[in-house]
Amino acid sequence: MKVALKLKPKQSRPRGWRASVLLGLASLAALATTCFALGTSFQGLSPIGRLLSPSLGLWRHQPTEISDVSARLKDALAEAGLPPVSIEFDEHEVPHIKSESDSSLYFAQGFVTAYFRLWQMDFLSRITAGRVSEILGSKALPIDRFFRRMLTHEAAKASSDLMMADPVTRGPLFSYTKGVNARIGQIDLSSLPVEYRIFSVLPEPWSEERAAHLLKFMTWELTGYLYDVRMTASKTKLSHELFELLFPLSEKLKGTILGDRKSAQTRAEPRSDSSNVVFNLPKSLGTHWIPDEVKPDPSNGSNSWALPGPRTTTGRPLLANDLHLGYTLPALWFSIQLTSPTMNVYGASLPGAPGVIVGFTETMGWALTNGTDDVLDWYSLRFRDEKRQEYMFEDSWRPVITREEVVRVAHGPDEIVQTRETHVGPIVFEDGDTENVITIPAGLAAQWTGHQPSNELRSFLLLNKASRANDCLAALQTYIAPAQNFVCADRYGKMVYKHAGLFPDRRGRDGRFVVEALRDSDLWQGSLPPEMNPVFESHSETIVTANQAPFNGADVQKFGWFFRPPYRSLQIRKKLDAKKRWNPKEMISLQADTESLLSISFKQLVLREMEASPLKDLALKPPCETGSDSLQSTFTKWTGHHDSSNRIGSLAHRWFEIFEDETWTRNVGSSDITFWPSEWRLFELIDEGANVEIWDDAATPEKETLNSRLSAALLKTCDYFEDAFGRQEVPTWSDYQPTTLNHAGRLPGLGRTVTAPGVGESIFANKGAHGPTWKMIVSFEDKPKAWTMIPGGQSGDPSSRSYDRLVESWSKGEMHPVQFYMRGQK
Amino acid sequence: MITQIKARNLEIDGRFLYVAVFVLLSATVSLTPWWGIPLVAGILRLLFSVPVRWLTALTLISTAVVCFVRDLQNDFGPSRVFSKIFLLESLGFPVGSEASQLVTYAVVGFVGAWLSMMAATTVKMFQSLRPTRAL
């Protein structure tokens, strides 16, 4: 090949051989370094070079498209020999699946859910299985160690066996699993979910046991608290008088769900003297024993209320529900409608489990809030010797059953985890733990309702087919865990409430403390009779649940002792009572309400104390100094709302946090180790007035008072804002509390930060990383009208536009109308 | 600029070479793992003494173009993911915007170009140690 050329000679000085060698070596070194960086796995992630590669990396990724689903599902159903289904996606990308066969319906649900959410369900099902390290590497080992020791995999296996033995759940679970696996079988390089590429793993076949793990994970999230351990530490530290002052077992509670109505059956028992409470728990003890990532948030809860027909403009009941859990992307819930000759249900499904968990049918609906009951007890075991192979029980030594399990670790060596089981329960914490050295030969074993073989799916699948509110009671007969408040309502005007679950029978023993398990009477004596579970039916009374105590009276302590303070429930009641009749759309703004009764209580306290010194004369500096408007006047004008642009809400919130933190740290100890009185109790103590010892520090010559404590906390609040946000102004609420939706696998960048209002105690219970994950309002008209919202989108694929499409709307408190198809409707 | 390349008794027109190298590099980017880029760039330099700056520029362009084509084929999903992973929103490039797409193509293009430049420079430096042949 030769063509005429014009040569443009390059004039350059000849380079010496030494310079060439040096330059060559330098560029070779740079090349090698770059290649090393691109080819090396960092923190368990796929090498960046592989991800960036246009030939094999993320550039080959095909986002999930709803247009592809129908054809692929048709192929999968044909291959499985199942009748076809019709599937349609509405404008909010919610699938409406209709089939003449339940097998096809659940198969299609499994397929569609896996199509959009495969990685999420795969990942979440690994948590209680103790298999997260297989994806995240060694940094997840604490999570796996914990759940292996907790024996959740055995509990999930037992529950899975139970579900497969029950005709109500066997078919749906089997078909759903087949549907998921059919989707997995279709996956190729371009359709492999992004996270699998990033973590350099492949999807595993789905199984009934993995579905059981997801349900166990939810049970853990809603009941897995170490409060007994912390309360024991509080009791150890406090004098008897002060303990009784701070933690009275009140029988007259405010704002309970049923008020003075009691459960159908009551049982009087003498209160235990707590003589075998373990007071010598080691100082190293603390909630850091549970890895932060899986430590249930104390606010895991929810709101639900049902308004009777006479209180609504339609004359039919209205049902509202919002589920408060940690925010994640992909969104925790997947909206779906399932229609067959046996059911027609719409609502939030849990990716990985068949059916709908919260939702409504053509004629009824149900809502959930966490029961916040005490269903997990920790027992101290007395070992025979340092070998810890035997423990004392009923005056004899019993063997500890020890097994070794292999935890596979991505990009690292496997780890052997020893599990240790007793007839009390698994020993989860004991001396020899590298992070928690206990100096006595003792261990803490758990009794937890989550360890019971249980089939909650049965209740939900029966609810999916319910037609009347009363059907709830039948559906919930076998419900065990997590204990929940179920509120059901129907188009015929009936409303039913049930505090459902299995509750341990402690026979009068105080469940607040760790006790030494030496005799059978120290342990649970079976469970409370189901007749004791609070139930309420009405056509005319409003039902409000927000994780508060279910009813008044001594019996409530058999269920629990750390129910949430009634701030949200009272706020809901207050708002509902302010209006005679409600129309469904007004519920949307009610669910977005940001007024906090806790903030109002604090505001009233501050205004009262501002009348006296030293708070009255406190010289404030920027950013707290509010210019011409005094702090008192600013507080007076504040309505207790926590809207995004509000500044005084930020000041009040931080001020109260510091005040509360200092009060209890000084009196009780660190919140990591000890249990603190609730905010409600703090205000009760203030109102009671005669509790000088809480404010005064005997070690100082000065006489500290409530007023001086508030003043000191305010100065610290100002210092905090100056350090964190500068001297200009107190930050707006959304700057102070940014709302973050982290990626479920904590992959940086795949989460989202938005501006959203609300505080933990407002109806819109946004705590920044925790709050409403499913919002639903249902009006039971001839054809139900409903509105829903999830923080995220239907797709779990970060490359899809639907991944976080609804986040902005959610943050503004908006909800979208549900497209609900009646049977036979096109 | 038109330049003459002579190698192994071949004299290639500069314009044609641009196109040939571009096509070859695009094929490399499309079909081989990431380490194919420095390998091919090094071979091109070794066999045809293609100037380093050509290789660098053409790798950048071909990588960006291949990324764009892949992105187009996949409903711009890949660039949305990279925009998130690169935290471009915090730098003022909203996810899904054309600007963020261009930035992702450029970032990947620069990585490819860097690999290509380092490989070609290494070969060039060691080539210069040989007795000079007529080029």
Torsion sign, CA atoms A141, A145, A146, A147 = positive
**Residue A59 to residue B14, Cβ atoms within 8 A:** no
Question: For residue A609, is pLDDT > 80?
Answer: yes
Instruction: Please name the residue of chain B whose CA is at the shortest distance from the CA of residue A47.
Output: B34
Confidence (pLDDT) at A690: 65
State how far residue A3 is from chain B, nearest Cα, in angstroms. Answer: 6
- Residue B14 domain-assigned? no
What's the whole-number mean pLDDT along residues A453-470? Answer: 97
Least CB–CB distance from A15: residue in B31, B85, B128: B128
- Residue A601 domain-assigned? yes
Least CB–CB distance from A58: residue in B78, B115, B128: B78
CA angle A517, A518, A521 (to 5 degrees): 80
Confidence of residue A76 (pLDDT cuts 50, 70, 90): very high
Confidence of residue A262 (pLDDT cuts 50, 70, 90): low
Q: Mean pLDDT: which of A33-47, A291-305, A527-541 is highest?
A: A527-541
Question: For residue B81, is pLDDT > 80?
Answer: yes
Q: Does B98 touch chain A if contact means CB atoms closer than 8 Å?
A: no
Tokens read off for A807: 């986040």
Does residue A413 have a cis bond before it (omega within 30 degrees)?
A: no
User: Phi and psi at residue A564, in whole multiples of 5°?
Assistant: -70, 145
Confidence (pLDDT) at A320: 98
Edge-to-edge order in the sheet of strand A535-538: A86-89, A95-98, A334-340, A343-349, A358-360, A364-370, A484-490, A495-500, A535-538
> Which residues neighbour A266 within 8 Å (Cβ) at sequence distance 6 or greater?
A532, A553, A555
- Greater confidence, A340 or A17? A340
- Residue A668 domain-assigned? yes
Question: For residue A288, is pLDDT > 90?
Answer: no
Residues of B in contact with A116 (CB under 8 A): none
Confidence (pLDDT) at B134: 45
- Residue B2 domain-assigned? no
What's the whole-number mean pLDDT along residues A548-560? Answer: 90
Q: Does B118 touch chain A if contact means CB atoms closer than 8 Å?
A: yes
State how far residue B44 is from chain A, nearest Cα, in angstroms. Answer: 16
Confidence of residue A648 (pLDDT cuts 50, 70, 90): very high
**Residue A5 to residue B14, Cβ atoms within 8 A:** yes
- Residue A444 domain-assigned? no
| Residues B95-122: tens digit of each pLDDT | 989 999 999 999 999 999 999 999 999 9
Question: For residue A458, is pLDDT > 80?
Answer: yes
Question: For residue A303, is pLDDT > 90?
Answer: yes
What's the whole-number mean pLDDT along residues A53-62? Answer: 92
State how far residue B42 is from chain A, nearest Cα, in angstroms. Answer: 11
Least CB–CB distance from A20: residue in B77, B118, B129: B129
**Exposure string (b/e) for A89-108, b if CB count within 10 Å is 16 or more?**
bbebbbbbbbbebbbbbbbb
Residues of A in contact with B31 (CB under 8 A): 55
How do beta strands A95-98 and A390-393 pair?
unpaired
B residues 44..63 contacting A (CB < 8 A):
63
Instruction: Report yes or no: A503 and A389 within 8 Å, Cβ to Cβ.
Output: no
Instruction: Report yes or no: A484 and A458 within 8 Å, Cβ to Cβ.
Output: no
**Exposure string (b/e) for A574-602, b if CB count within 10 Å is 16 or more?**
ebbeeeeebebebbbebbbbbbbbbbbbb
Instruction: Report yes or no: A298 and A333 within 8 Å, Cβ to Cβ.
Output: no
Residues of B in contact with A28 (CB under 8 A): 118, 122
**Residue B74 to residue A62, Cβ atoms within 8 A:** yes
Confidence of residue A266 (pLDDT cuts 50, 70, 90): low
Q: Which domain holds residue B54?
A: 20-127
- Greater confidence, A17 or A694? A694
- Residue B88 domain-assigned? yes
Confidence (pLDDT) at A134: 94
Confidence of residue B127 (pLDDT cuts 50, 70, 90): confident
**Residue B71 to residue A24, Cβ atoms within 8 A:** no
Confidence (pLDDT) at A164: 97
Confidence (pLDDT) at A664: 94
Q: Does A578 touch chain B if contact means CB atoms closer than 8 Å?
A: no
Q: Name the pTM for this structure.
A: 0.92
> How much is the mean pLDDT over chain A?
90
Burial of A627 (0-12, 13-18, 19+ CB in 10 A): exposed
Residues of B in contact with A799 (CB under 8 A): 74, 77-78, 80-81
| Residues A505-538: tens digit of each pLDDT | 998 888 899 988 999 999 999 999 999 999 999 9
- Residue A377 domain-assigned? no
- Residue A820 domain-assigned? no
**Exposure string (b/e) for A716-734, b if CB count within 10 Å is 16 or more?**
bbbeebbeebeeebbbbbb
Q: What percent of chain A stands above pLDDT 70?
A: 92
Question: Number of folded domains in chain A?
Answer: 1
User: Phi and psi at residue A147, in whole multiples of 5°?
Assistant: -70, -30
**Residue A27 to residue B77, Cβ atoms within 8 A:** no
State how far residue B85 is from chain A, nearest Cα, in angstroms. Answer: 5
Question: For residue A431, is pLDDT > 80?
Answer: no
| Residues A688-739: tens digit of each pLDDT | 886 667 898 878 888 899 999 999 999 999 999 999 998 788 999 999 999 9
Q: Which domain holds residue A718?
A: 597-639+647-731
- Residue B46 domain-assigned? yes
Name the amino acid, one letter, at A757: P
Confidence (pLDDT) at A430: 67
- Residue B95 domain-assigned? yes
**Cα–Cα distance for residue pair A301/A298, rounded to 1 Å:** 8
Instruction: Tell me which residue has tokens 């029980």.
Output: A393
What's the whole-number mean pLDDT along residues A578-583? Answer: 94
Instruction: Please name the residue of chain A whose CA is at the shortest distance from the CA of residue B2.
Output: A6
- Residue B119 domain-assigned? yes
Name the amino acid, one letter, at A220: W
Pick among A18, A35, A41, A53 to test the B interface (most B CBs inside 10 A): A53
Residues of A in contact with B121 (CB under 8 A): 23-24, 27
Q: Does A538 touch chain B if contact means CB atoms closer than 8 Å?
A: no
Confidence (pLDDT) at A4: 38
Question: For residue A384, is pLDDT > 70?
Answer: yes
Confidence (pLDDT) at A7: 40
> Which residues neighbour B2 within 8 Å (Cβ) at sequence distance 6 or greater?
A5, A6, A8, B13, B14, B15
Question: Number of folded domains in chain B?
Answer: 1
- Residue B6 domain-assigned? no
| Residues A204-218: tens digit of each pLDDT | 999 999 999 999 999
Burial of A242 (0-12, 13-18, 19+ CB in 10 A): middle
Q: Does B135 touch chain A if contact means CB atoms closer than 8 Å?
A: no
State how far residue B40 is from chain A, nearest Cα, in angstroms. Answer: 14
First to last CA, chain A: 69
CB pairs under 8 A between A and B: 141
Instruction: Please name the residue of chain A whose CA is at the shortest distance from the CA of residue B64.
Output: A54
The region of weakest confidence among A226-235, A600-609, A673-682 is A226-235
**Residue A56 to residue B33, Cβ atoms within 8 A:** yes
Residues of B in contact with A1 (CB under 8 A): 10-13, 16
- Greater confidence, A625 or B93? B93
Q: Does B70 touch chain A if contact means CB atoms closer than 8 Å?
A: yes
What's the whole-number mean pLDDT along residues A450-478? Answer: 96
Give CA separation, A20 vs A683, B54, B115, B122, B130, in Å.
Answer: 79, 20, 19, 9, 11
